[in-house]
Structure 1
Amino acid sequence: MTHRQIMEALSGLLLGMFVAILSSTIVANALPQIVSDLGGGQSSYTWVVAASLLTMTASTPLWGKLADLFSKKVLIQTAIVIFVLASASAGLAQNTGMLIASRAVQGIGMGGISALTQTVIAAMISPRERGRYTGYIGASFAVAMVSGPLLGGVITDTSWLGWRWCFYVGIPFAVIALLLLQQTLHLPLVKRRVKIDWAGAFLVAAAASLLLIWVTFAGDKYAWLSWESYAMVGGSLLLTLLFILVEAKASEPIIPLRLFRNRTITLTSLASMFVGIAMFGATVYLSQYFQLARGESPTMAGVMTIPMIVGMFLSTTLSGLIISRTGKWKIWLCSGGVLLTAGLGLLGTMRHDTEYWHLAVFMAGVGVGVGMMMQNLVLATQNQVESTDLGAASSSVNFFRSLGGAVGVSVLGAVLAHRISDYVNDGLDKLGVEHGGPTGGAGSDIPDLAKLPAPIRDVIESAYGHGIGDIYLYAAPVALLGLLLVLFVKEVPLRTTSGIDQTTAAGGDDAAAAYLRQDGSHGADGAAGHAGFGGPTAYPPGYTGAGDGGHMGQHAAPAAGEPDPNEPLAASRHSVLGTVRNAEGRGVPRAAVTLISLSGRQLGRSVARTDGRYGMDTPGPGSYVLIAAADGHQPQATTVTVGEEPLSHDVLLSATSGLAGRVRSSGDGQPVRSAMVVVTDERGEVLATGRTGERGEFAFDELVTGTFTLAVNAPGYRPMARPVEIEGQGITRIEVDLAAGARVQGVIRAGVDASPLPDARVTLVDAAGNVVGTATTGEDGAYGFTDLDAGDYSIIASGYPPVATALNVEGAGPDSHDIELHHPDE
Structure 2
Amino acid sequence: TLGFVLVEQRAVEPVLPLPLFRNAVFSLSSAIGFVVVFALYGATTYLPLFLQVVNGASPASSGLRLLPMILGLLLTSITSGQLISRWGRYKAFPIAGTAVMTLGMFLLSRLSEHTSVLVESLSMAVLGLGVGLVTQVLVMAVQNAVDYRNLGAATSGVIFFRSIGGAFGTAIFGAIFSNQLASHLASLASRLSSGINLSSAESVAAIHHLPTALRAEVVHAYAQSLSTVFLVTVPMVALAFLLSWLLPEVRLRTTTQATDMGHTFAMPTTRTSQQEIERALHVLTSRDSLDQLYHRLAARAGIVLDPLSTWLLFRFQEQAPIAGATLAKRFHVPAARLMPSIEALRESGLITKISAGDRRYISDRLP
- What CA distance in whole angstroms lies between the structure 1 residues aligned with 2:235 and 2:135? 18
In structure 2, distance between residues paired with 1:490 and 1:352: 43
Q: Note the C-alpha offset of 1:274.
A: 0.4
Deviation at 1:450, TM superposition (A): 2.9
Residue 492 in structure 1 maps to residue 250 in structure 2: yes
2:64 pairs with 1:306 = no
Q: What aligned pairs does 1:147-158 form with structure 2 within 5 A after superposition? A: none
Residue type of the partner of 1:260? F
- Which residue in the other structure is 1:369 paired with? 130
Contact preservation (8 Å) 1:352, 1:464:
no
The 5-angstrom pairing of residues 315-394 of structure 1 reads 315-394=76-155
CA distance, structure 2, for counterparts of residue 421 and residue 435 of structure 1: 19
Distance 1:525 1:246 in 2: 46
**Structure 1 residues 727-738: aligned runs within 5 Å:** none
Per-residue CA deviation, residues 791-812 of structure 1 (Å, 9 max, x unaligned), is xxxxxxxxxxxxxxxxxxxxxx
Cα contact 1:277–1:408 (8 A) shared by 2: yes
* Change in CA separation of 1:445 and 1:492 when aligned onto 2, cut-off 3 Å: same
Q: Is the 8 A contact 1:425 1:438 kept in 2?
A: no
Offset, 1:363:
1.4
Correspondence 1:455 to 2:208:
no
Contact 2:21 2:27 in 1 (8 A): yes
Q: How does 1:192-211 map to 2 (within 5 A)?
A: none
SS of alignment partner, residue 489 of structure 1: coil
SS at 1:584 equivalent: helix
Secondary structure in structure 1 of the residue aligned to 2:113? coil
Residues 238-637 of structure 1 aligned to structure 2 (within 5 Å): 240-429=1-190, 432-433=191-192, 439-440=198-199, 445-498=203-256, 526-527=266-267, 529=269, 554=285, 583-587=307-311, 613=318
Name the CA distance, whole Å, in 2 between partners of 1:426 and 1:610.
84
The alpha carbon displacement at 1:584 in A equals 2.9
**2:356 corresponds to:** none
Q: What is the aligned partner in structure 2 of residue 160 from structure 1?
A: none
CA contact (8 A) 2:8 2:17 kept: yes
CA deviation after TM superposition for structure 1 residue 388, in Å: 2.5
Q: Distance in 1 between matches of 2:146 and 2:330?
A: 33
TM-score normalised to structure 1 length = 0.33
Mapping for residues 646-657 of structure 1, pairs under 5 Å: none
Q: Is the 8 A contact 2:20 2:154 kept in 1?
A: yes
Unaligned runs of 5+ in 2: 274-280, 287-304, 321-328, 334-347, 349-367
Q: Which has the higher contact order (CA 8 A, sep 6+)?
A: 2
Mapped contact 1:272–1:374 kept (Cα < 8 A): yes
Change (3 A) 1:392 1:582: farther
Write the mapping of 1:675-714 to structure 2, written as runs, cut at 5 A.
Answer: none
How many angstroms apart in 2 are the aligned matches of 1:295 and 1:650?
Answer: 62
Displacement of 1:435:
7.9
Deviation at residue 374 of structure 1 after TM alignment: 0.8
AA partner of residue 420 (structure 1) = L
Map 1:81-92 → 2, pairs under 5 A: none
> What CA distance in whole angstroms lies between the structure 2 residues aligned with 1:253 and 1:500?
32
Q: Equivalent residue of 1:451, what SS?
A: coil
Report the counterpart of residue 340 of structure 2 in structure 1.
none
Q: How many percent identity over aligned positions? A: 31
8 A Cα contact 2:76 2:133, kept in partner: yes
Aligned to 1:19: none
Preserved CA contact (<8 Å) 2:42 2:166: yes
Q: Quick check: 1:417–1:440 contact (8 Å CA) kept in 2?
A: no
Q: 1:351: Cα distance to partner? A: 1.9
* 1:370 CA drift (Å): 0.3
Q: State how far apart, in whole Å, the 2-side matches of 1:554 and 1:382 are.
A: 18
Structure 1 residue 244, shift from structure 2 partner:
1.3
| Superposed CA offset, 1:669-712 (max 9, x none) | xxxxxxxxxxxxxxxxxxxxxxxxxx9xxxxxxxxxxxxxxxxx
3-state secondary structure, aligned to 1:251: coil
Q: In the alignment, residue 342 of structure 1 is paired with which amino acid?
A: L
1:276/1:404 contact within 8 Å kept: yes
* Alignment CA distance shift 1:651-1:294 (3 Å): closer
Distance (Å, rounded) in 2 between the aligned partners of 1:306 and 1:317 = 16
Q: 1:311 Cα deviation (Å)? A: 1.4
Deviation at 1:436, TM superposition (A): 11
Report if aligned partners of 2:192, 2:214 keep a CA contact under 8 Å in 1. no
- Whether contact under 8 Å (2:38, 2:169) holds in the other structure is yes
Partners of 2:20 and 2:26 within 8 A in 1: yes
TM-score (norm 2): 0.71
2:310 is matched by which residue type in structure 1?
R
Aligned partners of 1:277 and 1:406 also within 8 Å: yes
Corresponding letter in the other structure for 1:439: L
What is the DSSP-based 3-state SS (H/G/I as helix, E as strand, rest coil) of the residue aligned with 2:310?
coil
Report the CA distance between 1:284 and its aligned residue: 1.2
Amino acid at match of 2:222: Y
Quote the offset at 1:358 in angstroms: 2.6
Separation in 1, partners of 2:268, 2:175: 59
Give, as a single letter, the amino acid of the residue that structure 2 aligns with 1:477.
P
**Residue pair 1:421, 1:438 contacting (<8 A) in 2 also:** no
1:245-286 deviation per Cα after TM superposition (whole angstroms, max 9, x unaligned) = 111111111111111111111101100000111111111111
User: Cα gap change, 1:353/1:247 in structure 2, threshold over 3 Å: closer, same or farther?
Assistant: same
* RMSD of aligned alpha carbons: 3.6
Pair member with larger Rg: 1
Aligned pair in 2 of structure 1 residues 354, 587: CA closer, same or farther (>3 Å)? closer
Q: Shift in Å at residue 650 of structure 1?
A: 5.6
Query: 1:435–1:253: structure 2 CA closer, same or farther, 3 Å change rule?
Result: farther
1:766-806 superposed Cα distances (whole Å, 9 cap, x missing partner): xxxxxxxxxxxxxxxxxxxxxxxxxxxxxxxxxxxxxxxxx
Which residue identity lines up with residue 266 of structure 2 in the other structure? G
Query: In 2, distance between residues paired with 1:478 and 1:612?
Result: 63
**1:610 to partner: Cα distance:** 11
**1:529 shift after superposition:** 4.0
What are the superposed Cα offsets for residues 702-738 of structure 1, whole Å, 9 maximum, x if unpaired? xxxxxxxxxxxxxxxxxxxxxxxxxxxxxxxxxxxxx
Counterparts of 2:75 and 2:11, CA distance in 1: 42
Deviation readout 1:597-635 (Å, 9 max, x if unpaired): xxxxxxxxxxxx8987489xxxxxxxxxxxxxxxxxxxx
The code of the aligned residue for 2:237 comes to: A
Q: Secondary structure at the match of 2:188?
A: helix
In 2: Cα distance, 1:438 partner to 1:303 partner: 32
Aligned CA distance change for structure 1 residues 651 and 444 (closer, same or farther; 3 Å): closer
Q: Number of residues paired by the alignment? A: 298
Any conservation in 2 of the 1:587–1:612 contact (CA below 8 Å)?
no
Partners of 1:408 and 1:309 lie apart in 2 by 20
Which amino acid in 2 is paired with 1:314?
L
Q: Are the structure 2 counterparts of residues 308 and 425 from structure 1 closer, same or farther at C-alpha, using a change threshold of 3 Å?
A: same
- Give the C-alpha shift of residue 530 in structure 1: 5.8
What CA distance in whole angstroms lies between the structure 1 residues aligned with 2:123 and 2:258?
41
Partner of 2:342: none
- Residues 354-408 of structure 1, C-alpha deviation per residue, up to 9 Å, x if partnerless? 2333322221211100010011011111111233222111111111111111100
2:308 aligns to what SS in structure 1?
coil
Quick one: distance in 1 between partners of 2:258 and 2:309?
Answer: 25
Q: Distance in 2 between matches of 1:247 and 1:327?
A: 34
Check conservation: 2:258, 2:264, Cα contact below 8 A: no
